[in-house]
A and B are shown apart, each in its own frame.
Chain A
Amino acid sequence: MVFCFFFNLYIQLFSMDVNDLSKFKHLFIEEATNLLNSMERIILNLEKNPSDVELIQEVFRVMHTIKGVSGMYGYTAISDLTHHIENIFDLIRSGSLKVDKEILDTTLMVVDHLFALLKDEKVEDPSLALKQKELIHWCVQFIKDAKGKIFIKEFVESDSELVTYNVILHTHQSVVDRRINLFYAIKDLAAIGEIKNISPLPVQDDNEERWSIFIVGDFSFDDIEEALMFVYEYCIIRKVADYNIFDEEQSDIVHEELEKEELDYIATSNRPKSTVINKSVGSNTNKVIESIKQNITRISVDSSKLDYLMYLVSELITTSSQLNISSRSNSVATMLPHIQKLDRLSKLFRNNALEIRLIPIGDVVPKFNRLVRDVSNSLGKEIEFVTEGMETELDKSSIDMVTEPLVHMIRNSLDHGIELPEERLAKGKSEKGTIKLKASSSGNDIFIEVSDDGKGLDKDRIIEKALEQGVLDRSEDLSDEQVFNIICKSGFSTNEVVSSLSGRGVGMDVVKQKISEMRGELDICSRPGEGTKFTIKLQQSIAILDTLLVRSGKMKFLLPLSDIEVCSQMLYSNIDKRIKYSTVDFENELTPFVSLRNLFDISEEKPKMAKMVVIRKNNKRLAFFTDEIVGQHQAVIKPMGELVKKHEEISAASVLGNGEIAFLLDTNMINQNVYKKSAL
């Protein structure tokens, strides 16, 4: 892949105007984005198999490529940073260093940072610049340490002299006025010790900034004072400990502290937070959703599909010229075969276009992997993320839309589903929780499941909370399904502690809303103590649908062909007799029915016979009665806009060949309504 990229770029560089670099810049950004995306996957794999030489080579190659090409386009910050990472992986490659968590964590941070740098070429964002310095500093330090270790071999370093200081740097307007470069101060700090953490603190207004810096090293208070000479009056310096608090054992305490600070920050400020080297868990969901959206502006297509497209194009051109010639003859008979061929071709084009738009759901999985990894780390939970059926293909637009609900669902499982390790052991489960993402297809339907082996949904607690929060007004006689649906109501949350992750009462309602926007179904299944399973059912393609066109009076309606089981007919007079029962006898089975005439108050004169279309939805049969079955229609689905969005029975419209409008019946809703009614 890496070589391909090089190859592509060089081919294009030499075959086109070399001076016109801006064109290639665009190409560079896209390809670099792809490479960085692949980095996430590689690093997560590397975490599982730390000694895999192939993977280490791959990281090295990717970094090397990015370094080389970014330099060409003037992305000096990127080439700088990748150079350092490349060095580290060079050491690993040569066997002098071993892959460890610190390296991987930092590499992931670097990847995130590089993503940001792609958008901010000149590093105009000060927090980015700061992070850049920090990351490079880490790399330099790391290599220095590593080289030191290589020389000293097994000699133990004496770390008894280490102290940890915290510096709060408060910069307001006067700093800017005096043109003091804060970075020099930080650089000087870095010279006396190791900067372990830099994070922003809440501020009162936009002109000021507050940073918290943790520094570890063998130095005295005077050293710090000297390093901060120019900004001393803006600093609060305090000694935190007589040891390195960032040592393995102590790190938890600091994280807790920082998390508290973060929460305070969130509470006091609505501004987006840019944490420098600390993991910013709070914005994770949005980050993931955002990055997936960016991810799929370009899709890679199986070349055989493109070959087929070319074949279709050549057929189209031939057919249209044949049609041109035959149109001179003025005879319909000579034109007819060509018109038929054109018709057939347009169907093939449609299928081809739809296929090209299909992408495997696995393309977004690395992002989910990353989410699970980061969030479970910060929650102190051990979670394995398992996937199945990731080759299942979905329309690009569906993937874009389904990502957000999936992120929310996975986070729900992370946050509420999987218990803490101790809790799991006490319950006799394995320490490690599992979250599973499974996709499968059947016909035009796609099923996506997010399941966990956590504590499951607590029915009583949901009811209790729902009553408390006013989303429910009675607690008796609720089926499992009804209770589970409560969690999809807006403003509902059972989490008492508002963590930075979820529990803010947004989440499941967004999931439900997004899925119904895609005309999908959401099913929740849960057993106390055993886990929860969310299943999303979607149509593979939502833009074009094969439908059956029917007519009642003057109105035309469409039924999704995939729902239809059988068509038949019946006397209208018989139906009228059964209307109050809402069921008819069909194939010796009492079948609920809907007469489109009754449903939509169509009063024009009735024909004698009614046509019957039987559909199957959620494994339940439902019959529709209408005047006429017109035929099959490939419906290009058109939304009707916000104004008529809340329509219960009609979900969209489609324009027929003659310009008329037909309405797509929402078989889901109608089915639900009919069965709800018959249950009463």
Chain B
Amino acid sequence: MNNTISNSYLLFRLQEELFAVSVHKVLEIIETGDEHHITHLPKAASSIAGVVNFRGDVIPVVNSRLKFDMDNYSEGEKFVVIILNLQINEQEHVVGLKADKVVDVIEIKNEDVKPIPEVGQGYNSDYIEGVVNRANKFIMLLNLENAISSNEIVKLKEDTVED
């Protein structure tokens, strides 16, 4: 196995946490910054922020803060929508993901990806593939396919104890 292969990842922030998702899955980033671009879909699950018109198609947008069990965006708070093309059960799913901010695009070497730490805060390995330490910051590599296809609110940390 060649560990020196590196891949490009899009780095985004949700509250204080940094997350990474492979750039191959990213179709576009909509810097909307305002709520009006998302059409509210009544009676949908709370983690669904609504739908957007993306290149003529109607695609759902996931409110990632609610999906990952964080505090919701406050009124007027800025956000971006990352449009992703995910392969779930051999089918293509185009979905939008709300994020606070897109931070960077970085190269991550495969050898730098560490398995999630087993001690301390227990991260849920269903949704996090691994962690990377960059400049003393932990970046979580998300398994968005699992997170999105789950109908539930996803708890990234298995125990809810915060420090």
Q: Which residues from chain A sit less than 8 Å from chain B, CB to CB?
A: 555, 599-602, 638-644, 647-650, 652-655, 659-661, 663
Are A648 and B59 interface neighbours, CB within 8 A?
A: no
Are B44 and A655 interface neighbours, CB within 8 A?
A: no
A555-B51 in contact given A641-B59, A641-B93 (Cβ < 8 Å): no
In the docked arrangement, what's the CA distance between A655 and B58, Å?
Answer: 7
What per-residue 1/0 map shows which CB atoms of B41-61 lie under 8 Å from chain A?
111110010011100111110
Are B53 and A644 interface neighbours, CB within 8 A?
A: no
Q: Is B105 an interface residue (CB 8 A)?
A: no
Q: How far is the CB of B24 from chain A (nearest CB, A)?
A: 20
The size of the chain B interface, using a CB distance under 8 A, is 24
Q: Which residues from chain B sit less than 8 Å from chain A, CB to CB?
A: 39-45, 48, 51-53, 56-60, 62, 88, 91, 93-95, 148-149
Are B62 and A643 interface neighbours, CB within 8 A?
A: yes
In the docked arrangement, what's the CA distance between A654 and B51, Å?
Answer: 11
- The dominant DSSP class at the B interface is strand
In the docked arrangement, what's the CA distance between A649 and B44, Å?
Answer: 10
Are B93 and A644 interface neighbours, CB within 8 A?
A: no
Are B42 and A600 interface neighbours, CB within 8 A?
A: yes
Are B58 and A638 interface neighbours, CB within 8 A?
A: yes
Q: How far is the CB of A669 from chain B (nearest CB, A)?
A: 12
Provide the residues of chain A in CB contact with B43, threshold 8 Å.
Answer: 600, 647-650
Provide the residues of chain B in CB contact with A652, threshold 8 Å.
Answer: 58
Q: In the complex, which residue of chain A has the Cβ closest to the Cβ of B62?
A: A643
Q: In the complex, which residue of chain B has the Cβ closest to the Cβ of A641?
A: B60
A644-B48 in contact given A649-B43, A663-B41 (Cβ < 8 Å): yes
Are B51 and A653 interface neighbours, CB within 8 A?
A: yes
Are A643 and B53 interface neighbours, CB within 8 A?
A: no
A644-B88 in contact given A655-B58, A661-B53 (Cβ < 8 Å): no
Provide the residues of chain B in CB contact with A599, threshold 8 Å.
Answer: 42
Provide the residues of chain B in CB contact with A650, threshold 8 Å.
Answer: 41-43
Q: Which of B57, B62, B88, B148 is in CB contact (< 8 Å) with A638?
A: B57
Are A641 and B95 interface neighbours, CB within 8 A?
A: yes
In the docked arrangement, what's the CA distance between A639 and B52, Å?
Answer: 12
Q: How far is the CB of B120 from chain A (nearest CB, A)?
A: 32
Q: How far is the CB of A584 from chain B (nearest CB, A)?
A: 22
A660-B39 in contact given A641-B94, A642-B88, A643-B148 (Cβ < 8 Å): yes
Provide the residues of chain B in CB contact with A647, threshold 8 Å.
Answer: 41, 43-44
Provide the residues of chain A in CB contact with B53, threshold 8 Å.
Answer: 655, 659-661
Are B58 and A555 interface neighbours, CB within 8 A?
A: no
Most buried by A among B43, B88, B93: B43
Provide the residues of chain B in CB contact with A601, threshold 8 Å.
Answer: 42
In the docked arrangement, what's the CA distance between A649 and B41, Å?
Answer: 11
In the docked arrangement, what's the CA distance between A60 and B68, Å?
Answer: 68
15 of the cross-chain contacts (CB-CB < 8 Å) are: A599-B42, A600-B43, A602-B42, A640-B41, A640-B51, A640-B58, A641-B95, A643-B62, A643-B95, A644-B44, A644-B51, A644-B60, A649-B42, A650-B41, A661-B52
Contacts A650-B41, A653-B51 aside, 16 further interface pairs with beta carbons under 8 A come to A599-B42, A600-B42, A602-B42, A640-B51, A640-B59, A641-B60, A642-B91, A642-B93, A643-B95, A644-B51, A650-B42, A650-B43, A659-B53, A660-B53, A661-B39, A661-B51
